[in-house]
Amino acid sequence: MDSKVLSRREALGLFALAPFAQAQAKADITIKISEVKAEIAKGKVVQTLAYNDTVPGPLLRMKEGREVSVKVVNETTTPEMLHWHGFHIPPNVDGAHEEGTPMIQGKDSRIYTFTPGPSGTRWYHTHAMAGHDLKHGAYTGQFGMVIIEPKSDPARYDKEVPLLLHEWEPSFDSDMAMDVSYKSYSINGRMLGFGTPVRVKPGQRVLFRIVNASATMPHQLALSGHVFKVIALDGNPVAVPGTAEVLDLAPGERVDAIVEMKNPGIWVLGETDDKQRKAGAGIVVEYALAKGRAVWKAPSAKTFDYLKFGKTEKAPAAENTIPIVIEPRSDGNLWAINGKSYPNTDVIRAKPGVRNRMVFDNRTDMAHPVHLHRHTLEITNFVGRETSGVFKDVIMVPPKSKVEADFLAEQAGPSLFHCHQQFHMDFGFMALMRY
Ligand SMILES: [Cu+2]
């Protein structure tokens, strides 16, 4: 779809009719977008945009395969877009303007009706562009978790704890306005020490469902005195569940990990980076009857590897190969895909109905969390190592390296491919895929 034409038609109000009819209709879930004052610590208030007046937005539970309708009411005066991240749903409801989902105009509403799937830890967040405006897009509080419950659930745990990471008070590092930094950090909308602790009991198996809802920052987490057992990445069960002292999450990524609670005390689950943790990136985990201050104990190992959770067997061969060359630019855009920056990027052509292989060739000196909408990617080669059985929708491609990942082309219509780092997406790192 030609985005320039669409914006012009929107400017003329040609999309006003359908939303008006929709405004009268009922939905299973209503999400309101409005400006809020969020208290992220005692006396520390940030003004932001949020869903249903809370940061994060409400935890949504959907059933795999059961149709749901969600009414999104935009009480702000600027157009918004709500994306269902990790869902295999049609482009008119996926929540990307570039795919053809209509924007939710200011003071207007839209109903999204779709059949959720696949099951797992998904999330929803704004897909509006921000550019240099740090008061919009993923810099805001517009994010929340969706758990799509499977038709039958084999996972065994005693308690489920959703954790959503975010940063506040963004600013540009320098006059160059190239990189964003933050004054404060939060988990579940509160700085470390100011939220409700995660309350556990000895012997419990606790499932942490973690989303990095950061606009731009990767994070590394550890739970002092405990080890994670990773069971799913981006909501998709891994081939080989395994332990990890630390969890790496790029923007957009999720980790589901079970922790056996067998070290009573009061502990910090937080960023391994001291500066970020001290600026709020953590949450207290408190055993029943434990007394004292929350303790941070740095992990002994700091490496996290996708392939630890994959099989060593090669994935089946793909029938089509799609080269994705990532390069830096300095022409007003920052990044290019196959030599061009969005909106001038070439359409990525996939072969319908078969296994397609994306070959990410990151020629830049930064890692990029690449994200493909409406599909699941299986990592088949990570920096020279072959694997199978690790299914994701965001893959962190290390600097100056190659990563290969396959998807089944079974979702007709356009799908957006982009870097999940908001500042990268907004400055060229985006393309449409079709088949
Ligand atoms: Cu990037």
Are residues 174 and 288 located together in one domain of the fold?
yes
Give the CATH number, domain containing residue 48. Answer: 2.60.40.420
Would 80 be classed as within a structural domain?
yes
- pLDDT exceeds 50 at position 49: yes
> 183 C-alpha to center of ligand 1: Å?
22
Are residues 127 and 245 located together in one domain of the fold?
no
> 269 C-alpha to center of ligand 1: Å?
27
> 369 C-alpha to center of ligand 1: Å?
6
Q: What is the pLDDT of residues 224-237, one digit of tens each?
A: 999 999 999 999 99
Q: What is the pLDDT of residues 208-229, one digit of tens each?
A: 999 999 999 999 999 999 999 9
- pLDDT exceeds 90 at position 177: no
> 396 C-alpha to center of ligand 1: Å?
9
> 29 C-alpha to center of ligand 1: Å?
33
pLDDT reported for residue 95: 97
Are residues 138 and 175 located together in one domain of the fold?
no
Would 242 be classed as within a structural domain?
yes
> 252, 308 in Cβ contact below 8 A?
no
pLDDT reported for residue 151: 86
- pLDDT exceeds 90 at position 125: yes
Q: Report the percent of the chain where pLDDT is more than 70.
A: 92
- pLDDT exceeds 90 at position 7: no
**Domain total in the chain:** 3
- pLDDT exceeds 70 at position 94: yes
> 40, 186 in Cβ contact below 8 A?
yes
pLDDT reported for residue 23: 55
> 51 C-alpha to center of ligand 1: Å?
26
pLDDT reported for residue 5: 40
> 83 C-alpha to center of ligand 1: Å?
19
> 21 C-alpha to center of ligand 1: Å?
39
Would 52 be classed as within a structural domain?
yes
Are residues 293 and 167 located together in one domain of the fold?
yes
Q: What is the pLDDT of residues 246-259, one digit of tens each?
A: 999 999 999 999 99
Are residues 327 and 430 located together in one domain of the fold?
yes
Angle value at C-alpha 392, between 338 and 349, nearest 5 degrees = 35
- pLDDT exceeds 90 at position 433: yes
> 25 C-alpha to center of ligand 1: Å?
39
Q: What is the pLDDT of residues 98-111, one digit of tens each?
A: 999 999 999 999 99
> 394 C-alpha to center of ligand 1: Å?
11
> 415 C-alpha to center of ligand 1: Å?
18
- pLDDT exceeds 80 at position 283: yes
Would 329 be classed as within a structural domain?
yes
Are residues 297 and 192 located together in one domain of the fold?
yes
> 363 C-alpha to center of ligand 1: Å?
12
Q: Report the percent of the chain where pLDDT is more than 90.
A: 86
Would 314 be classed as within a structural domain?
no
> 397 C-alpha to center of ligand 1: Å?
9
> 421 C-alpha to center of ligand 1: Å?
5
Are residues 20 and 141 located together in one domain of the fold?
yes
> 419 C-alpha to center of ligand 1: Å?
5
Q: What is the pLDDT of residues 64-88, one digit of tens each?
A: 999 999 999 999 999 999 999 999 9
pLDDT reported for residue 1: 35
> 367 C-alpha to center of ligand 1: Å?
7
Mean pLDDT of 346-350: 97
Are residues 20 and 139 located together in one domain of the fold?
yes
Would 139 be classed as within a structural domain?
yes
Three-class HEC string of the chain: CCHHHHHHHHHCCCCCHHHHHHHHCCCCEEEEEEEEEEEEECCEEEEEEEECCECCCCCEEEECCCCEEEEEEECCCCCECEEEECCCCCHHHHCCHHHCCCCECCCEEEEEEECCCCCEEEEEEECCCCCCCCCCHHHCECEEEEEEECCCCCCCCCEEEEEEEEEEEEEECCCCCCCEEEEEEEECCECCCCCCCEEECCCCEEEEEEEECCCCCCEEEEECCCCEEEEEECCEEEEEEEEECCEEECCCCEEEEEEECCCCCEEEEEECCHHHHHCCCEEEEEECCCCCCCECCCCCCCCCCHHHHCECCCCCCCCEEEEEEEEECCCCCCEEECCECCCCCCCEECCCCCEEEEEEEECCCCCEEEEECCCCEEEEEECCEECECCEECEEEECCCEEEEEEEECCCCCCEEEEECCHHHHHCCCEEEEEC
> 331 C-alpha to center of ligand 1: Å?
17
- pLDDT exceeds 50 at position 2: no
Q: How confident is the model at residue 333 (pLDDT cuts 50, 70, 90)?
A: confident
pLDDT reported for residue 172: 87
Are residues 277 and 358 located together in one domain of the fold?
no
Domain housing 108: 3-149
pLDDT reported for residue 176: 59
Q: How confident is the model at residue 179 (pLDDT cuts 50, 70, 90)?
A: confident
Mark which of 128, 149, 170 sits at the end of a domain: 149
**Among 44-58, 193-207, 329-343, 366-380, the least confident range:** 329-343
pTM of the predicted protein model: 0.93
Mean pLDDT of 307-327: 97
- Mean of all residue pLDDT scores within the chain: 93
Phi, psi of 8 (to 5 degrees): -65, -45
> 178 C-alpha to center of ligand 1: Å?
12
Q: What is the pLDDT of residues 128-170, one digit of tens each?
A: 988 888 888 999 999 999 999 998 766 789 999 999 999 999 9
pLDDT reported for residue 351: 98
Are residues 177 and 52 located together in one domain of the fold?
no
- pLDDT exceeds 70 at position 3: no
> 430 C-alpha to center of ligand 1: Å?
10
- pLDDT exceeds 60 at position 20: no
